[in-house]
Amino acid sequence: MGRPVAIEVRNVSKRYSDDPGLAPALDNVSVDITDNEFFTLLGPSGCGKTTLLRTIAGFEQVSEGEIRLAGEPVNDLPPFKRRVNTVFQSYALFPHMSVAQNIAFGLEMQGLDRKLIAQRVDEMLALVQMQHLAKRTPAELSGGQQQRVALARALAPKPKVLLLDEPLSALDLKLRKEMQVELKRVQKEAGITFIFVTHDQEEALTLSDRIAVMSAGKILQIGTPNDIYERPQHQFVAQFIGDINFLPGHLKRGQQNEKLFVPNGMPVEIPCPAQGFDGAAVQLAFRPERSQLVDPTQPHHLRGVIEAVLYVGTATLYQCRLNNDIKVMLRENNEGLNRGRVVGDRVAVNLPPHACLLMEA
């Protein structure tokens, strides 16, 4: 049996205008998010991910559909009556209060006993590992420390669900990566559902139990990070999550009845997984790191010429123009090897069957 459902979103739409010519911010969205799950809403600006978060929080009213929290409908409940809390991008800490006072604020508003408040504040300080900074004010903290205080304050009232609206976007890259580890640890130790909004694909892959990829107010695909990256169901998802190449072409049957992909304008047959396409015009998609550059004299490979070489530390990226005039990007781990490839070199590209993904043209 699976875990209980924490949040149910059923056929939710959100319109900011009655003009039928304007697309809704949310368009018939449905999703179940389970207890203790780290669930991420991922997509570009304007895709509807923050609007969906705000409807769950109660800051926006849905135009159609229903939202349930632990099985109970919450459409008509104001934010303060929903068992959810929100961590915003701006942190919104009280500058005149200490760390401990910031964490205690929401508990005091609930009228809890002072001893209970003090106990809960101590628990939250320990959770975010800030016991030694309890008396400092926000101005005396780093950005990462302020983020931890905001997280502790939101968790202190024991919400059923914690909503996080791009909470790491204001941090520099190194600190952001450190906070990703901390955020995942806190979520597991707190044992509650996190719903996280981001446009950062790497962040989503790193943190999430499951990801919902959104575009134009719709959820295009929901899955584990591995599912989303390895088996994208839409071209938009494939392009948005990581880097990927596309080759137009068609399928044919081989002598052993296997499916072979033939790129447009190239006399090459590439073995492909037996997916639900047969004879149709399709696109072959492959990740830059799943292909290999090989000697151009070897048969049965794509052929082309290197147009750009980009050294990125752990790897080298090669932009190649294939003989059918399609550009692709390839990635090789450096591993201390200097292969000496330069712009103008003629190369062949090997695509193993497991690297290939077929998609509609």
Please check the confidence at residue 1 and state whether its pLDDT lies above 60.
Answer: no
Q: Which tokens in the block code for residue 215? A: 């575009």
Average pLDDT over residues 194-201: 94
330-345 per-position pLDDT tens digit: 999 887 666 778 999 9
pTM of the model: 0.89
Name, of 29-43, 110-124, 153-167, 340-354, the range with top average pLDDT: 29-43
Pick the CATH number of 243-360 from 3.40.50.880, 2.40.50.100, 3.40.50.1360, 1.20.120.80: 2.40.50.100
Per-residue buried b or exposed e for 69-90, using 16+ beta carbons within 10 Å of the residue's own CB:
beeeebeeeeeeebbbbbbebe
Average pLDDT over residues 11-38: 92
C-alpha to C-alpha distance for 361 and 247, rounded to whole angstroms: 9
Inter-residue contact 103 to 125 (CB < 8 Å): yes
Name, of 137-151, 223-237, 347-361, the range with top average pLDDT: 223-237
Q: What per-residue confidence (pLDDT) applies to 276?
A: 66
Average pLDDT over residues 87-92: 83
C-alpha to C-alpha distance for 106 and 108, rounded to whole angstroms: 5
Q: Where in the chain is the domain with CATH 2.40.50.100?
A: 243-360
C-alpha to C-alpha distance for 327 and 322, rounded to whole angstroms: 6
DSSP of 237-290: HHHHSS--EEEEEEEEE-TTS-EEEEETT----EE----S--SSEEEEEE-GGG
For the four alpha carbons of 26, 29, 34 and 39, in that order, the dihedral sign comes to negative
Q: Where in the chain is the domain with CATH 3.40.50.300?
A: 5-239
Please check the confidence at residue 197 and state whether its pLDDT lies above 60.
Answer: yes
C-alpha to C-alpha distance for 180 and 160, rounded to whole angstroms: 21
With pLDDT > 90 as the criterion, what percentage of the chain qualifies?
61
With pLDDT > 70 as the criterion, what percentage of the chain qualifies?
97
Could you tell me if residue 39 is left (phi over 0), alpha (psi between -120 and 50 degrees) or otherwise beta? beta
Which helix (H) or strand (E) is 18 found in, with range?
Answer: none
Pick the CATH number of 5-239 from 3.40.50.300, 3.30.420.40, 3.30.70.3270, 3.20.20.10: 3.40.50.300
Q: What per-residue confidence (pLDDT) applies to 278?
A: 64
Nearest to 204 by CA among 226, 182, 173, 186: 226
222-241 per-position pLDDT tens digit: 999 999 999 999 999 999 99
Please check the confidence at residue 173 and state whether its pLDDT lies above 90.
Answer: no
Average pLDDT value over all residues in the chain:
90
Cα angle 187, 191, 196; round to 5: 40
**First vs last C-alpha separation in the chain:** 39
Binned at pLDDT 50, 70 and 90, residue 63 comes out as very high
Nearest to 226 by CA among 249, 206, 247, 248: 206
